[in-house]
Amino acid sequence: MRLTRLVFQLARRNASLIHRREMATSDRGSSIIPKTVNPDIQEERNAATFNVEDFALWWHGGEENLKRKRYVESSVFADIDENKTVASIQSLSHDEIYAAAMEDALALAGKLRKLQKELNPGGKDIWPGLFSGPELWGAMPGGNPFTVHFSMLVDAIRNQGTDEQFEKFGKRAENLEICAAFAQTELGHGTFLRGLQTRADFDSKTDEFVLNTPTITAYKFWPGGLGHSANYSLVMANLYIDNKPKGVAMFMVPIRDEETHMPLPGIDIGDVGKKLGFYGVNNGYLGMKNVRIPRTNMLMRHAQVEADGTFIQSPAAALGYFSMVFGRCWISANNTTMLAIAATIATRYSAVRRQGSINPKQPEVKIMDYVTQQMKLFPEIATCIADRLAALKLRQLYHQTERDIKKGKYDGLGEIHALSCAMKVMCTSDSAAGIERLRLACGGHGYLASSNLSNLYSTATAGCTYEGENTVLLLQVGRFLMKSAQQVMAGKPLAPTASYLAKIKMDQWSGSWENIVEALECATANKTHQALKNIAARMEAGQTQGEAANNTGIELTQAAELYGRSFIAANFLQEVTGINAKTRSPALNKVLENILELYLVKAALDNMNNIFRIVKITDEDVNSLQASLEKSLKSMRPNAVAICDGFDFPDRNLLSTLGCFDGNVYERIFEEAKNCSLNKEPVPRVFHTHLKPFMKSKM
């Protein structure tokens, strides 16, 4: 109750601040953007069949969460420089982008620290809880150099280090008293961790580890914040004792002086240069030559090295990779947010963009009235909702596994690893492909940097390769499925998310929601068993197990994708039709049922080649699915804008001329163009220095 009252008091104060800032902007008289809402987008909101606030409350997990989110956003964005946009950031040099990103990140950190003291003293839910999340991306249009520090590094020290090590390193990192990178990937190795070339040799005489990157390909390459932000790095290296390999371990390595920030002896460090996206994240490289650290800087919650060189092995090898599971949970959730932002931008734009007519001699229609446009927009709305719900479920399973580990129970590690890999693949590939479809749905204007769609795409598609390249992760899921299929054959129990693998055929097709989910699960089982059968056949023909698995790789990745899609679909069905439905209004439930049907019907049509193999389906059945798809699009049409409003993104987080709440698209596009730095002078200097002399020259 104290938090609620304080939020309301402070929200009133901040509302006044925002109002004064808007009035100041209006007084300047320089903006051509109307202060009113575009009537076309208001018409969409008036037509909605449900209460948008009900959707927002459901989406954000209840009244307290939504109030806090809105208050924090209003506080952080109250004094933000509105001229600092993605487009303006992209016009800067690489050095300037990094400086701007650092300034913005630290300004946000200061605000969040203050808000934490105001709203929940002693807690961590706001600072550092919100620092690397999507709620406040709009405060850092150039990116956050400390994202990996807070999203992975602190958690890795907590779960891989001892309590004493967390006291020494983790708490300082959590308070940003030190800045640390998570250095796993090398120039020559990424997902294949056993192949890492970075060495950590134990010297029992000095009770130290000696770290080296013996070749160029051994250099750490890509860690976020490593270039010039971090003064420590959690280095993943192969451990050697008396020149004998002991496996991969993690080491907390000082890399820059805490006072001067100069690289320490033996450290070769820098920024990797410009990238497709993540402009200000300061991804870096790290080389080490005979860098010595105390033995106690190796994270030793699970595996230990004693002073005499005795190596105590981890009780479960997979524990060493558990921090990456958390990273994949985080990536999955963030990518669903990117897709939701893109869907909001494209849907609002489609509500105000008029082009052509459906009937001759009729006025131009909103492009969202075209069924083909609806097919570009609405499935992506459904996908971001389905993926986000599954990402939340994945996070719950992760925390359950975390609790089990503390009790000495490790039997769930294989499942959570496979599921996190599958979810990371599905959410990143869904968002990357979906954002590109939504950009194309906005026509030429979607190509503008000011639309923010290109930035969203470059950020989302990066997720397809960092923290495990997607194809490699699918193959890891495939191995889990092969082991599960062998357990079926041996009559052994299966992991909960793979419990359906014993059923490879369906009795009957009805096309109901439950039937579609069952079909996806049976298709997963059928593809899994077919892949296992083909591996066995290839081995019988003389191939090694590795060769047989490689040659069956296509089927293994297909089975893995089906496993991921089945999990998402089953979870979506449970959320919409299960016990949680009783907590929602009938109108909201009807909307969610419409979205669920669209998602499931499209999933069935997309996977029909696999479903054909496990149940008899007629042409009439397929035609019925197509009719259901079109009906779902039609039912969703009056609610599309309202659903996106329910995501509750403030304009500052959208950072888009096409997607603002007021729908004044053309004025925003034109004002952004007028403010382009190239337009500061009527005649650019290059005209006088190059173009005019060339045109006047005689050849």
What is the rounded CA–CA span in Å between residue 157 and residue 74? 33
Side-chain half-sphere exposure of 171, counting CA atoms within 13 A: 7
Q: Which residue, 311, 438, 452, 320, is CA-closest to 373?
A: 438
User: What's the pLDDT at 266?
Assistant: 98
Q: Which amino acid is at 347?
A: T
* pLDDT the model gives residue 133: 83
- Quote the distance between the C-alpha of residue 551 and its chain's center: 31
Q: Of 438, 439, 434, 441, give the one whose Cα is nearest residue 461.
A: 434
pLDDT at 259: 97
Q: DSSP assignment, residue 263?
A: B
**For residue 698, what pLDDT is reported?**
79
Per the residue annotation, which of 44, 415, 467, 597 is the catalytic one? Answer: 467
CA distances to 316, 318, 414, 509, 622 from 301, rounded to whole Å, are 12, 13, 19, 51, 54
pLDDT at 648: 98
Tell me whether residue 5 is exposed, middle or buried, using C-beta atoms within 10 angstroms of its C-beta: 0 to 12, 13 to 18, 19 or more. Answer: exposed
* 521 catalytic per annotation: no
Q: What is the pLDDT of residue 323?
A: 85
Strand pairing category for 199-203 and 208-212: antiparallel
φ and ψ of 591, to 5 deg: -65, -45
Q: How many residues does the chain have?
A: 699
The residue type of 667 is E
DSSP state of 103: H
- Global pTM? 0.94
DSSP 398-445: HHHHHHHHHTT--TTHHHHHHHHHHHHHHHHHHHHHHHHHHHHHTGGG
- According to the model, what pLDDT value does residue 104 have? 96
Give the helix ranges, DSSP H, for 407-541.
413-441, 453-462, 470-489, 513-540
User: Is 185 labelled as part of a ligand binding site?
Assistant: yes
Nearest-angstrom CA–CA distance, 295 and 449: 49
* Average pLDDT per consecutive 10 residues, the chain (699 residues; last block may be shorter): 48 41 42 95 98 98 96 95 87 94 96 96 94 91 94 93 96 95 93 88 97 97 97 97 96 98 98 94 97 98 96 89 90 97 98 95 95 98 98 97 93 96 98 98 97 96 94 97 96 95 94 98 97 98 98 98 98 97 97 98 98 96 98 98 98 97 98 92 96 90
Residue 430 confidence (pLDDT)? 98
pLDDT at 51: 98
491 is in an annotated binding site: no
Consecutive H or E run containing 232: strand 232-241
Domains, the chain, in order of start with CATH, read 148-314 (2.40.110.10), 322-646 (1.20.140.10)
Token pair in block for residue 208: 């130290």
pLDDT score of 14: 46
- Contact yes or no for 386/599 (Cβ under 8 A): yes
- Is the distance from CB of 341 to CB of 436 less than 8 angstroms? no
3-state secondary structure 565-611: HHHHHHHHHHHHHCHHHHHCCHHHHHHHHHHHHHHHHHHHHHCHHHH
